[in-house]
Structure 1
């Protein structure tokens, strides 16, 4: 399967422009590599730049789409750690409150953290771990009451899965 996208053309819903990593990824991925090559490029990018949010986003989406959910969950964990480190806040999502970071500031590490937390909830849901997913969705709702990141969609899926 050929990877048919350029990273700069993929909208980053958490915002933030990271021109260095994005340009490198774009150049390598647009060379026409397959999914295996794309994964290697993304992992190499993260090894050299552990704060490259675009690379985390692309890698966990790539793994998720291949149903490699355990691996995607591990990448999400690394992405959350990078966001917490860069944003200067606690890694543990349970320790956050509405005012503990600029959650609604789109071009922030906090917003990327929140968006990635949503990805974690979806990965857990896809693994059938609804009981693990729900507290994360509750925390996201507390931190993002305006649903800027769209976690209500994951909650609807979780509600549907719980009722079936």
Structure 2
């Protein structure tokens, strides 16, 4: 197994050391050895399925290589885990702005980031209607656009 002798490439926040090590190794490898990076990200998830950064590593990896089905599956996994950690209904359509008010903690931010990821991937898959519904929900949940969904909003407008 590859051993890296360097500082962390990405600050993922507090994670179990073994999970952080796998994610750091995957980040170092993802451009040249995407299959190896994916294996490391999945090993990190196997060690700690509640580690949201591992889900986001998978999303970014698959999205970068235009593997939209796999990216979508990872985004749904991230969304399910983040919403579970927040105690939210599994159906994002039921979520209300009040639930997110004054909640800057990681799982709440990650929940909105995962919702944004699903919207972006739906758009990249050519599924405009679900992407639009997700962005409309993000407008309601995050009117300040803290997670940056306005980029997807602009893409939706440009492709209308």
Report the TM-score, using the length of structure 2 for normalisation.
Answer: 0.85
Aligned residue in 2 for 1:140: 138
Deviations 1:12-44 (A, max 9, x none): 6xxxx2332324422565479711100001011
Query: Quick one: distance in 1 between partners of 2:8 and 2:140?
Result: 31
Aligned residue in 2 for 1:19: 15
Aligned residue in 2 for 1:3: none
Deviations 1:42-80 (A, max 9, x none): 011112211111111111100001111011101111111
Aligned residue in 2 for 1:158: 156
* TM alignment of 1:9-88, pairs within 5 A: 9-10=9-10, 17-20=13-16, 21-27=19-25, 29-30=27-28, 34-88=33-87
Aligned residue in 1 for 2:3: none
SS in 1 for 2:97: coil
Contact 1:103 1:110 (8 Å CA) reproduced: no
Structure with larger RCO (C-alpha < 8 A, sep 6+): 1
Contact 1:124 1:133 (8 Å CA) reproduced: yes
RMSD: 2.3
Q: Which deviates more from structure 2 when the two are superposed, residues 141-150 or residues 107-116?
A: 107-116
Over 3 Å off, 4+ runs: 6-12, 27-33, 101-104
Contact 2:26 2:41 (8 Å CA) reproduced: no
SS in 1 for 2:98: coil
How many residue pairs get matched?
152
The unaligned stretches of length 5 or more in structure 1 are 1-5
Instruction: Give the Å deviation of 1:101.
Output: 3.5
